[in-house]
Structure 1
Amino acid sequence: MAKTLSRVLGKVLLLVLSLVVAAAWLIILRLKDVAVPVLVVYGLLLLGLVIGLIWPGVYGRRFGRTQVGKFIGVPAGLGTLGLYFAVVFYIADVPVLLGLAAAAALAAALVTGLRGRRGTAKPAASRSRRALVLGGVGVALGTLSGLSVGRVERHRQDQLTQAEKIRQEAIHAPGRRQRITDGAVRVFPLHTGDTVVTFGQFYGGFDGWDGVNGYLRTLLDKTLITVPVYAYLVDHPRHGLMMIDAGINWEQAHDHDGYYNHNAMVSRLLSDRDEYRMTSEQDLRVRVARLGYDVTDVTTVFLTHVHDDHAGGLRHLSQATVVMDRRDWEHGVVYPYSFDLVKDNLAFPRFDSGAFHAFPDSQDYFGDGSLILLPTPGHSPGHMCVLLHMDDGNALFMGDTLYTLPHFAVDQVRQMTIGGTDTVHQIDAARRIQELLTEAPNTVPMFAHDNTPYQLELVDSAFSHGRPDAAGFRRLRQHMNTVLTSDWRLRPGHTPHLAQAGRVEFR
């Protein structure tokens, strides 16, 4: 009785473990945008296979493990291979796949050979030949695996060489500017590409996109919109060339799987290969060079937070000191590869400069009041905003505390938040920023992902030469007043709605 119960419990445990692995695989496939009906059929095949193998005969006395393998296992296996090659496969997998196939063939050859020694003369001879064939196949596949390593690397280098050629052409195209050295503080918005996100993730914080539920909904809801990724170049007469965030890099957009394969396949499996888009003109190195600068002259990068759409460009800024909140470095980094070239150049502010407007803690980074760091945790453990004093006004770099100007109406429009105390902290930070902007009417917010006319038309225009005058700052604040009331509510005509073809309309 005890033996039977133990066997049943063992099978139940095996079933649970198999279902957990299968569920994780199905989630990965959904992240890769595999259609739900396909996943349902495929999931039922996997379930039927697991049950049939654990409990042979469950489908009838004549339908044992062999039949389960033939009629359910084969379709499930072919489906697994098809889905893998359709949505997960990357060229760097070729040597690994060939190596695994070689190992499987050699193992089969060994097992077949050992069995042949225990059989009759004729079956043993037949199995020996089969073992020899399998061994030969294994050796051939192993040789191909070794040869393919160099081939794959050459393919990648060819891609990089072609990308460098296109980049140089973009840098030297007509219209390149000369650096202006008149002693003024200048800020240049750099549109470094776009990211593709779900509408709910961007605007659905009041529609159930919060915490764990929000992340689960990103698996099922593929209503996508495209939003910009901005970084900012700062030319400061006293403190040199700086950046606020670093945007994304070319590899993230054009060799996504290769970029995230630098950490482990799990990073590649859990990210969407189409999440970033970038033209050659949007490459950080091109954008900076077209303005008359060189990325190698950047001395300091202020990173609002460590998420990869803000940190990818650090791969081009290895010489710079990267300033970020220590909490983000210790608890927020998801893809360390973006930081590999700067991890020895990190600086962590102590936020010991006292209160600044509504913020009880701040960091006067240079000690002269020119640049103030403000802790705004919530979107990430150590998110921070950056306030830069310019000649005729102030620029407040928001990071992802709020995505767009309409998000200032935090009681009407909200992005997806982490949930719990993190959401509380993020909304608290947003209200402190509201108070700061109310008290400092010559300060304008600068966003990382604003897809509204405020960023795409007014900010880009006002900062096209890096130095808005007082009237330019006033125009930006006047536009804010047309979108938001004095108590931070949206005025009619500025509420985001999803239109056809993934467009966002404000009405």
Structure 2
Amino acid sequence: MIGKAVITIAAALALATPALAQDRPAAAKLSLTRLDCGTVRVNRLNAFSDTEAYPGQSRDLTVGCYLIRHGDQLMLWDLGLPTALKGAAFNTDGDMSATVRTSLVEQLAELGIKPEEIDVVGVSHFHFDHIGQLPDFPAAKLYIGKRDWDWLIDSGRPAWVNPQPFTHWIGGGGAVEPVERDKDIFGDGRVMMLDMPGHTPGHHVLLVRLAGMGPVLLSGDQAHFQENYDSEGVPEFNTDRAQTLASFDRFKGLAKNLGATVIIQHEPRDVAKLPPFPKAAE
């Protein structure tokens, strides 16, 4: 009798399984496109080491921004240098200077995308080379680390923290979600903002799980170039050394365990890890 009951239950489950599979919605198509958001010429590379690792050195760093297509939703990760720097010449004054060749709006137009069609903007942190073109996307919902957001809205914030690009969101003109720890942006685990403080109080990186290429980790400013990544170097302007090193531990652990492609956003040698614009990784 028990045997017959087990067979009956098994048969019922077998018949139900195809129906359940049909009811499950297909995963949204996901892709990742790199956009050119400028170049920073670092005149004093030693600024990127609090242990004086790069005396007398200089280097050009890329500024990467990224378009994520998740089904019919569009997200930008990091918003690059301000367009006021378009065509600017490099100079030797100060630690660094910067230039922009083309704007985000111009590049998106080549893909047939209007600024108002961007649903989500996520920023790794509030430094000028990651939020410069944020005001061009006022219709988008903003995701930013909560501790960075707290500094931006605090009248007692440090003088070097510039809230101006965030004015629209600070004033209530746009939707904003301060991210306390990790955030699953689209609710399916495939686009994750991950809490990696230290460079700034609320610094985050982005994990994108592509079907073909596999997991991709976009570094924000966890590291700025390969040698900096390999040595777990801490820039002298980071807000917390211990947090930076702990975040390196988490970042590298994730990269190893997931078999992820690491994209150091400022590293020119990492540009080729993704297809050239306007192609996308999928």
Task: Give TM-score scaled by structure 1 length.
Answer: 0.44
| Aligned counterparts of 2:187 and 2:247: Cα–Cα separation in 1 | 23
Checking the alignment, whether the CA contact within 8 Å between 1:241 and 1:298 is kept in structure 2 is yes
**How many residue pairs get matched?**
241
Q: Which residue of 1 aligns with 2:220?
A: 399
| Aligned counterparts of 1:437 and 1:321: Cα–Cα separation in 2 | 28
Checking the alignment, whether the CA contact within 8 Å between 1:200 and 1:207 is kept in structure 2 is no
Question: 1:399 is paired with a residue of what secondary structure?
Answer: coil
Question: 2:179 is paired with a residue of what secondary structure?
Answer: coil
Q: CA offsets per residue over residues 393-441 of structure 1, 9 Å max, x none?
A: 1221210011133333125xx252346x811111110111111111111
- Which of 234, 239, 251 does residue 68 from structure 2 map onto? 234
Q: CA offsets per residue over residues 169-227 of structure 1, 9 Å max, x none?
A: xxxxxxxxxxxxxx631111111111122342465443168xxxxxxx9xxx7x64321
Q: Cα 1:197–1:253, aligned 2, differ >3 Å: closer, same or farther?
A: farther
Checking the alignment, whether the CA contact within 8 Å between 1:249 and 1:284 is kept in structure 2 is no
- Which of 99, 117, 139 does residue 319 from structure 1 map onto? 139
Checking the alignment, whether the CA contact within 8 Å between 1:252 and 1:312 is kept in structure 2 is no
Q: CA offsets per residue over residues 473-495 of structure 1, 9 Å max, x none?
A: xxxxxxxxxxxxxxxxxxxxxxx
- Structure 1 counterpart of 2:59, one-letter code: I
- Which of 395, 410, 431 does residue 231 from structure 2 map onto? 410
Structure 2 stretches of 5 or more lacking a match?
A: 1-27, 153-159
Q: Say whether 1:349 aligns with 2:179.
A: yes
Q: Cα 1:368–1:423, aligned 2, differ >3 Å: closer, same or farther?
A: same
Larger radius of gyration: 1
Q: Which residue of 2 aligns with 1:179?
A: none
Q: Which residue of 2 aligns with 1:465?
A: 279
Question: 1:340 is paired with a residue of what secondary structure?
Answer: helix
Q: Which residue of 2 aligns with 1:330?
A: 150
**1:465 CA drift (Å):** 1.9
Q: Which residue of 1 aligns with 2:9?
A: none
Q: Which residue of 2 aligns with 1:244?
A: 77
Q: Cα 1:283–1:272, aligned 2, differ >3 Å: closer, same or farther?
A: farther
Q: Which residue of 2 aligns with 1:445?
A: 262
Q: Say whether 1:185 aligns with 2:40.
A: no
Question: 1:406 is paired with a residue of what secondary structure?
Answer: helix
Aligned-pair RMSD on alpha carbons?
2.8
Checking the alignment, whether the CA contact within 8 Å between 1:314 and 1:342 is kept in structure 2 is no
Q: CA offsets per residue over residues 433-457 of structure 1, 9 Å max, x none?
A: 111111111x2122321122xx233
| Aligned counterparts of 2:227 and 2:69: Cα–Cα separation in 1 | 29
Q: Cα 1:403–1:241, aligned 2, differ >3 Å: closer, same or farther?
A: same
Checking the alignment, whether the CA contact within 8 Å between 2:43 and 2:58 is kept in structure 1 is yes
**Counterpart mapping for 1:361-372 below 5 A:** 362-372=182-192
Checking the alignment, whether the CA contact within 8 Å between 1:200 and 1:415 is kept in structure 2 is no
Q: Cα 1:369–1:286, aligned 2, differ >3 Å: closer, same or farther?
A: same
Q: Cα 1:447–1:464, aligned 2, differ >3 Å: closer, same or farther?
A: farther
| Aligned counterparts of 2:234 and 2:278: Cα–Cα separation in 1 | 28
Checking the alignment, whether the CA contact within 8 Å between 2:234 and 2:241 is kept in structure 1 is no
Structure 1 stretches of 5 or more lacking a match?
A: 1-182, 210-216, 257-270, 352-361, 469-507
Q: CA offsets per residue over residues 25-51 of structure 1, 9 Å max, x none?
A: xxxxxxxxxxxxxxxxxxxxxxxxxxx
Q: Which residue of 2 aligns with 1:339?
A: 166
Q: Which residue of 2 aligns with 1:426?
A: 244
| Aligned counterparts of 2:201 and 2:207: Cα–Cα separation in 1 | 19
Q: Cα 1:241–1:327, aligned 2, differ >3 Å: closer, same or farther?
A: same
Q: Cα 1:433–1:287, aligned 2, differ >3 Å: closer, same or farther?
A: same
Point out the structure with the larger strand share.
2
| Aligned counterparts of 2:84 and 2:46: Cα–Cα separation in 1 | 24
Q: Cα 1:336–1:388, aligned 2, differ >3 Å: closer, same or farther?
A: same
Give the % identical residues.
22
Point out the structure with the larger helix share.
1
- Structure with greater contact order relative to length (CA < 8 Å, sep ≥ 6): 2
Q: Cα 1:273–1:436, aligned 2, differ >3 Å: closer, same or farther?
A: closer
**1:294 CA drift (Å):** 2.0
